[in-house]
């Protein structure tokens, strides 16, 4: 079941990558796959064939990669499985990008071969537009509901059995909301350019962009708070509400993804409709700075700029902060892979990954990348050996796969810690007043020895 779910996620990612990258084949501001074409050549047979070929190749690539992903159905260790998952995911992203680069070159060559180069025009400054550039920007105080929900949820968790997580999540939530506010501020400071000689068209285009992007930041901030906290609220409610909140969480994530795509595609469509009202498009020679599919212009003072598809904001990699971001990106991607794979690799191949230590006063349970669990003997009310973990246990944080469970969980409203290898039986259950503990050693004989030693305390 776990491998099938991961496979579905990977295939879905391939299709999303193919769909989003293929949007570059649809003309926007006369740009097709990072190349600016003359207005009267956008529907030229060669250009139409070029556009169709790019879309076709992206989806063909997604299909080939999805077939390659079927390798995950082969039985294997979970550490190898997750390593393959990340490799296949990153390979999909890289292959799509390389295909895009190839078509950027082909588009440029098509323009050169047909002598369709546009004359670069000086930047036109509309002073009135500059002064009124933020007239449709959604005000910053619209972030208040997101901050309000964050503090309300923190209060709810603080009055429940999840006090320790409440403050940690409050800090994480505040950092995320501050990030959205920072992006909102970046949007408000984005300089405006006159894309045409028609001031009315330029104003409409700018107003659309500022409104849609600022509104998206505000709505996203509220959605993120709900997505973070709804799973935790299931821990504080009775069983009747658990299923309802779980379904709401799943629907909220799907709705957020769908609305994001719909909102940005709607913006792009409206932008194209506005630009179609004028034939005086001004080419500023930007193709040179987008020749790698990313914006690289050290002379441009802007750090963040609109992308050429019309749906996002990108970073100017020609600036020092842009270079830092470019350097951090592979580090973050590799880091995410290592944080996931290393604990599983340790569990799969270490001779004794789940350990215990008995001192004079306490028992210490430990596992890879997991907080040590220290239990004094006078806290223990009962110990027993069981064959399986109860089915209604809920993960709060940690690692849970088909073979392993490590971290903090919730069972019938009681805090529970698991350091369990499901392939090793029996499972030792330790009951205390505030928390239950489940533990297995890779060697089942060691688990039984620990059980007897605890009974003797």
Task: Summarize pLDDT for 108-143 with one digit per residue, the tens.
Answer: 999 999 999 988 877 777 777 888 888 999 999 999
Answer yes or no: CATH 3.30.70 is held by domain 355-456: no
Least confident of 20-29, 256-265, 273-282: 273-282
Token pair in block for residue 369: 């990348």
Q: Is the peptide bond before 296 cis (omega within 30 degrees of 0)?
A: no
Mind listing the pLDDT tens digit for each residue in 89-102? Answer: 999 999 999 999 99
Residue 308 is classified by DSSP as: S
- The span from the CA of 347 to the CA of 148, in Å, is 42
- How far apart are the C-alpha atoms of 446 and 311, rounded to whole Å? 58
**Mean per-residue pLDDT for 27-52?**
92
Alpha-carbon span 343 to 340, nearest angstrom: 6
CA distance linking residue 24 with residue 12, whole number of Å: 20
pLDDT of residue 99: 96
Q: Is the pLDDT of residue 232 over 80?
A: no
Give per-residue pLDDT as tens, 283-329.
888 888 888 888 888 888 878 888 888 777 888 888 898 889 888 88
Q: Which helix (H) or strand (E) holds 284?
A: none
pLDDT band at residue 86 under the 50/70/90 scheme: very high
Q: Please, are residues 428 and 435 in contact by the beta-carbon 8 Å criterion?
A: no
Enumerate the domain spans of the chain. Answer: 355-456
Confidence of residue 241 (pLDDT cuts 50, 70, 90): low
pLDDT tens profile 40-63 = 899 999 999 999 999 999 999 999
Rg of the chain, C-alpha, whole Å? 28
pLDDT of residue 234: 60
Q: Is the pLDDT of residue 236 over 70?
A: no
Give the distance, in angstroms, between the CA of residue 44 and the centroid of all CA atoms in the same chain: 38
- The C-alpha atoms of residue 52 and residue 56 are separated, in whole angstroms, by 6
**pLDDT grade, residue 226 (50/70/90)?**
confident
Is residue 240 pLDDT above 70, yes or no?
no
For residue 238, pLDDT over 70 is answered with no
**Model confidence pLDDT, tens digit, residues 336-365:** 888 888 888 888 888 888 889 988 889 999
Mean pLDDT along residues 17-26: 92
pLDDT score recorded for residue 71: 92
Query: Other C-beta atoms within 10 Å of 214: how many?
Result: 22
First to last CA, the chain: 41
Range 225-231 average pLDDT: 80
Q: With cut-offs at 50, 70 and 90, classify the pLDDT of residue 233.
A: low
pLDDT of residue 239: 52
Cα 279 to chain centroid, rounded: 39
CA distance 281 to 23: 21
What per-residue confidence (pLDDT) applies to 115? 92
Question: Among candidates 457, 257, 323, 315, which has minimal Cα distance to 377?
Answer: 457
Q: What pTM was computed for the model?
A: 0.80
When pLDDT is averaged across residues 136-153 and rounded to a whole number, the result is 92
> Can you tell me which residue has the tokens 């009267």?
40
Separation in Å, CA 28 to CA 21, 132, 243: 14, 24, 44
Residue 65's pLDDT band, with cuts at 50, 70 and 90, is very high
For tokens 């796969």, the residue is 401
What is the pLDDT averaged over residues 378-393?
Answer: 86
Written as six digits, the tokens of 217 are: 């930041």
DSSP string, 343-370: HHHHHHH-SS-SEEEE-SSEEEEE-TTS
Provide the pLDDT confidence category of residue 161 given band limits of 50, 70 and 90. low
């Amino acid at each position: 079941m776990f491998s099938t779910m991961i496979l579905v996620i990977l295939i879905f990612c391939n299709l999303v990558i193919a769909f989003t990258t293929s949007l570059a084949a649809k003309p926007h501001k006369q740009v097709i796959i990072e190349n600016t074409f003359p207005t009267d050549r956008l529907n030229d047979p060669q250009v139409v064939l070029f556009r169709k070929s790019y879309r076709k190749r992206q989806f063909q690539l997604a299909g080939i990669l999805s077939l390659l992903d079927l390798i995950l159905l082969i039985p294997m260790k979970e550490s190898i499985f997750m390593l393959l998952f990340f490799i296949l995911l990153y390979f999909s992203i890289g292959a799509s990008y390389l295909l895009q680069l190839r078509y950027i070159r082909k588009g440029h060559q098509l323009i050169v071969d047909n002598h369709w180069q546009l004359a670069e025009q000086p930047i036109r400054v509309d002073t009135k537009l500059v002064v009124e550039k933020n007239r449709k920007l959604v005000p910053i105080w619209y972030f208040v509901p997101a901050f309000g929900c964050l503090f309300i949820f923190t209060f709810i968790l603080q009055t429940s059995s999840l006090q320790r997580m409440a403050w940690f999540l409050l800090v994480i939530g505040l950092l995320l909301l501050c990030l959205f506010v920072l992006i909102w501020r970046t949007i408000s400071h984005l300089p405006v350019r006159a894309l045409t000689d028609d001031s009315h068209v330029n104003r409409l285009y700018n107003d659309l962009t500022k409104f849609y992007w600022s509104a998206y930041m505000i709505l996203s901030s509220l959605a993120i708070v709900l997505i973070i906290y709804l799973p935790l609220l299931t821990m504080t409610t009775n069983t009747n509400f658990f299923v309802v909140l779980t379904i709401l969480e799943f629907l909220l994530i799907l709705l957020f993804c769908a609305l994001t795509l719909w909102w940005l595609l709607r913006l792009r469509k409206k932008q194209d409709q506005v630009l179609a009202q004028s034939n005086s498009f001004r080419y500023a020679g930007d193709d040179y700075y987008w020749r790698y599919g990313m914006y690289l212009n050290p002379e441009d003072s802007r750090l963040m700029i609109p992308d050429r598809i019309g749906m996002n904001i990108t970073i100017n990699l020609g600036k020092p902060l842009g270079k830092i971001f470019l350097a951090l990106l592979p580090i973050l991607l590799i880091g995410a892979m290592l944080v996931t794979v290393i604990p599983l690799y340790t569990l799969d191949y270490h001779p004794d990954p789940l350990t215990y230590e008995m001192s004079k006063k306490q028992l210490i349970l430990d596992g890879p990348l997991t907080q040590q669990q220290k239990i004094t003997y006078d806290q223990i009310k009962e110990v027993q050996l069981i064959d399986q973990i109860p089915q209604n246990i809920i993960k709060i944080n940690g690692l849970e796969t088909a073979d392993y469970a490590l971290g903090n969980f919730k069972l019938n409203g009681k805090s529970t810690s698991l350091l369990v290898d499901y392939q090793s039986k029996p499972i030792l259950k330790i009951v205390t007043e505030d928390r239950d503990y489940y533990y297995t050693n890779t060697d089942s004989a060691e688990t039984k020895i620990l059980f007897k030693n605890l009974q003797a305390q």
